[in-house]
């Protein structure tokens, strides 16, 4: 596929996906399409065990392309744009391998924050400001912000942030549970890759099962989620990775997982 704004490199079984749409890495339709195709490609590659998403330059992603939104003249067109963005965010969330957002630069706003929230884990630089400022433009989040933010920080705080459009610092984002870790900006990508590499070294059958259990369980009752967990646990008990993991523990050696 031809890539103009979404590139990736692979090292130590970790793919680093970089958005490069200056000046703010806006999530235009073209960028969304490239990101969607890139992630689909990476999901098919068995040799890749983890994915890191970051932004080129001084910005992770400032949000959707405001010029494209300004050209919308009908509710149908607006709905289609939101649905397209949501589909890409859903692909990130439903990847069969761990996806980590390396939130670099100065801002992670609007669609950029919605993309980060769709990732399984988030490592942020200490200078980043987070926010969903759509309301200041007379609109609302459309790529999943009203649904994922309350799941991460709670309904009351999510409402406050969405209705005021306020931006918060990286430390507060960490304290709220919006990001997992805050590090100096120069170390963001290095730290995200380190976490990705560590998870890539685990048995991927177990990683996939954990991701499925948590994704499917969040929209079910506790009882239904527990039933799903027990079924996935049982399936893992028949894998070669489970036998290798237990044998390695008993023999006091590092495991050699085969992802099966």
Task: Name residues whose C-beta falls within 8 Å of residue 97's C-beta, 6 or more positions apart in sequence.
Answer: 42, 43, 48, 49, 50, 51, 204, 207, 208
- In a domain, residue 195? The reply is yes
Same domain, 73 and 99: yes
Same domain, 179 and 213: no
Q: Which domain holds residue 95?
A: 6-200
Same domain, 222 and 194: no
Same domain, 49 and 177: yes
Same domain, 246 and 131: no
Same domain, 168 and 240: no
Same domain, 166 and 213: no
Half-sphere exposure of 190 (CA within 13 A, CB side): 5
At 210 the pLDDT is 97
H runs (alpha helix) in 28-183: 29-44, 66-70, 75-93, 111-118, 145-153, 155-164, 170-176
CATH number (domain holding residue 138): 3.90.226.10
Same domain, 146 and 243: no
- In a domain, residue 257? The reply is no
**What DSSP designation does 61 have?**
B
Task: Name residues whose C-beta falls within 8 Å of residue 246's C-beta, 6 or more positions apart in sequence.
Answer: none
Ranges in the chain, pLDDT < 50: none
**CA 68, 69, 75: angle at the middle one, nearest 5?**
125
Nearest-angstrom CA–CA distance, 190 and 187: 5
SS3 category, 182? strand
* DSSP character string of 93-133: HT-SSEEEEEE-BSEEETHHHHHHHHSSEEEEETT-EEE-G
Q: What is the pLDDT of residues 236-251, one digit of tens each?
A: 999 999 999 999 999 9
- In a domain, residue 39? The reply is yes
SS3 category, 155? helix
- In a domain, residue 174? The reply is yes
Looking at the structure of the chain, the number of domains it has is 2
Q: What is the pLDDT of residues 172-231, one digit of tens each?
A: 999 999 999 999 999 999 999 999 999 999 999 999 999 999 999 988 999 999 999 999
Same domain, 228 and 175: no
Catalytic residues: 114, 134
């Amino acid at each position: 596929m031809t890539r103009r704004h979404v590139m990736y490199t692979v090292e130590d079984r970790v793919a680093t996906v970089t958005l490069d749409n200056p000046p703010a890495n806006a999530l235009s339709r073209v960028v969304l399409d490239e990101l969607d195709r890139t992630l689909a490609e990476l999901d098919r590659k068995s040799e890749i065990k983890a994915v890191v998403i970051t932004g080129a330059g001084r910005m992770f992603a400032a949000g959707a392309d405001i010029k494209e939104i300004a050209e919308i003249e009908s509710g149908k067109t607006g709905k289609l744009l939101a649905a397209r963005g949501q589909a890409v965010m859903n692909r990130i969330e439903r990847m069969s391998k761990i996806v980590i957002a390396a939130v670099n630069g100065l801002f992670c706003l609007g669609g950029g924050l919605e993309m980060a929230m769709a990732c399984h884990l988030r490592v942020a630089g200490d200078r980043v400001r987070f926010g969903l400022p759509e309301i200041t433009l007379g609109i609302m989040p459309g790529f999943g912000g009203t649904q994922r933010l309350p799941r991460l920080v709670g309904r009351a705080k999510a409402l406050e942030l969405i209705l005021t459009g306020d931006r918060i610092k990286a430390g507060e984002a960490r304290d709220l549970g919006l990001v997992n870790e805050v590090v100096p900006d120069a170390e963001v990508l290095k730290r995200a890759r380190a976490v990705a590499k560590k998870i890539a070294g685990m048995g991927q059958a177990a990683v996939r099962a954990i991701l499925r259990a948590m994704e499917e369980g969040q929209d079910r009752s506790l009882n239904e989620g527990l039933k799903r967990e027990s079924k996935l646990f049982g399936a893992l008990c028949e894998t070669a990775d489970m036998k290798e993991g237990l044998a390695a523990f008993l023999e006091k050696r590092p495991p050699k997982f085969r992802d099966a």
